[in-house]
Amino acid sequence: MVGSSLMQTKSLWISLASFGGVIFVASGEESKNFKAPEDRLAYTDVVVPILQGKCYDCHGTGKDQKKKGGLLLDSWEGLLEGGEEATALVPGDVKESFMIEVLRLPEDDDYHMPPKKKTQMEAPEIALLEWWVGSLPKGNQQPKDQTLKELNAPQSILDAAAKLASPEELAAAKAAVEFAKKKAEDVAAAKRKAIEGALSALKRDELFKTSLMYVSQDSTELEFTAVSLRKSLNDEGFKKLAPIADSLATVKVGSTLISESVLISELPKMKNLTKLDLSQTEIGDGGLDAVAQLKELEWLNLYGSKVTDAGLLKLKALPKLQKLYLWDSKATLEGAAALKKELPGLETYFGAN
């Protein structure tokens, strides 16, 4: 099963996640800026990127080392040491090198590599690894890394190498990944900084000490869970969330004392909410106009509320809504069915959970 479509892609932006599928045709103008295949170093520029793309995830000393089958493929020593069952690399001997044999085994063989459901090798990648193993001098000494030209690689091998991303493109793709990561980190840091003051002020309030927190350690989103505040969270308390309203992803204020009019004034400020629990609150059809403005909403609990079928239909403005709890409200199965016609992805629940 060769993903030949990959080989037709001329994009410079290579599969970024793991370099899985670094193959494409470098042609025309683009290739002029890149190291020609014959000038690439056999190990560093050709073999390593292939193994990195298709093997290191399970046989590499990365951040979280994986040594499947007792085998590390990301160093000369690891290659020579081999795995639990066999010698992975015998320099100069393709037939005795299990790392080549496993590539050629039928896909449903337990030892076929990469394992079934993973991104498979492309034919030129296999050809290059095989050629490299065969080109190595016998013995365990790691040879000096040489270019394909210096190693007298045949034309078929130069053609195969031309189908791989060049070292420059790999470097550019890697730099792009790092840049995007850095940028995302900067954005997250700026987001946290922007609400730092407001958040720490709120956290000094007894009401929010344990009820308001970041969704996770690295998250920029907040959740407010008023489970222990049923008797104490009123309009005044809820309004205090306004300065951080943008950052709230989850708000659970079921069974609290908040009035419908304050829900109407405050909820639209929380425009990034994905999860909202208004169970057993005063909310009725009027309040659903405010809820209908929360375009990111995926999960909504209206259990024990006063909403009716007429109000329910306002929620058709929420394209991402997936789960809606209506037990013990004034809404009916017919009302839910009418809404589901508008939102086919929606599940509604009338049960006690």
If one asks whether residue 173 binds ligand HEC (CB under 6 A), the answer comes out as: no
If one asks whether residue 68 binds ligand HEC (CB under 6 A), the answer comes out as: yes
Give the separation between CA 32 and CA 241, rounded to whole angstroms: 57
Give the separation between CA 271 and CA 181, rounded to whole angstroms: 26
Interface with ligand HEC: number of residues (CB under 6 A) = 25
Interface of this chain with ligand HEC, residues 103 to 132, rule: CB under 6 A = 110, 113-115, 118, 121
CB of residue 16 to ligand HEC, shortest distance in Å: 17
Nearer to ligand HEC, 107 or 205 (CB): 107
Instruction: From 25-33, 76-84, 196-204, 337-345, give the range in contact with ligand HEC by CB under 6 A.
Output: 76-84
* CB 280, CB 307: distance < 8 Å: no
Nearer to ligand HEC, 99 or 263 (CB): 99
Instruction: From 57-65, 182-190, 223-231, 279-287, give the range in contact with ligand HEC by CB under 6 A.
Output: 57-65
In Å, the largest CA–CA distance within the chain is: 83
If one asks whether residue 311 binds ligand HEC (CB under 6 A), the answer comes out as: no
CB of residue 117 to ligand HEC, shortest distance in Å: 8
Among 57, 74, 145, 289, binds ligand HEC (CB under 6 A): 57
Binding mask 26-55 for ligand HEC (x = CB under 6 A): ----------------------------xx
If one asks whether residue 99 binds ligand HEC (CB under 6 A), the answer comes out as: yes
**Beta strands, E only, 278-333:** 299-301, 323-325
DSSP of 82-135, one letter per residue?
Answer: --SSS-S--TT-TTT-HHHHHHHS-TTSTT-SS-TTSPPPPHHHHHHHHHHHHH
**Cis peptide leading into residue 143 (ω within 30°):** no
If one asks whether residue 58 binds ligand HEC (CB under 6 A), the answer comes out as: yes
Integer CA distances (angstroms), 254 to 225, 241, 306, 352, in order: 9, 16, 13, 15
Give the separation between CA 103 and CA 130, rounded to whole angstroms: 10
The phi and psi torsions of 147 (rounded to 5 degrees) equal -75, 165
Task: Name the residues that contact ligand HEC, by CB under 6 A.
Answer: 54-55, 57-59, 68-71, 73, 82-86, 88, 98-99, 102, 110, 113-115, 118, 121
